[in-house]
Amino acid sequence: MKRILIAEDNRDFASVLRLALEAEGYAVCLAENGREAIALQRRAAAEVLITDLVMPESDGFEAIDAFRKEFPATKLIVVSGTSRLDAGRYLEVAKLVGADATFRKPFKVEDLLRTLRTL
């Protein structure tokens, strides 16, 4: 069973995503920001990190950087729906700094599941 770590400050979104992934047989752990995701990964490694980009305290870019340095085998999926800057630009930058896949919120869970199967 693949372990997935979700770093997302929107608890409702994280809970819905968790339920959908667990229904597909994934083991899911939640973090509220990048710093918490890094700490959880150090304790019990996940094969995939799904991270939002804009979060309080420690954002998704910090998580991407840390995961690429400490856990290079972990697959990174970045999701964003930010309105502070164009989400598309944020996602382009995320790809440049190491994301394996990106999704703009809202997205279809089926698309995420398809991507998880191919990573």
Question: 3-114 falls under which CATH superfamily?
Answer: Response regulator (3.40.50.2300)
Amino acid at 18: R
Domain boundaries, the chain: 3-114
Report pLDDT for 118: 94
Question: Hey, is 101 helix, strand or coil?
Answer: strand
Q: What is the mean pLDDT of residues 105-114?
A: 94
Amino acid at 110: E
How many C-beta atoms lie closer than 10 Å to residue 24's C-beta?
Answer: 14
pTM: 0.93
Contact 103/111 with Cβ under 8 angstroms?
yes
Question: Hey, is 90 helix, strand or coil?
Answer: helix
Q: Across-strand partners of 80?
A: 104
Q: Residue 58's pLDDT band (boundaries 50, 70, 90)?
A: confident
R_g over Cα of the chain: 13
The pair phi, psi for residue 102, each rounded to 5°, is -135, 150
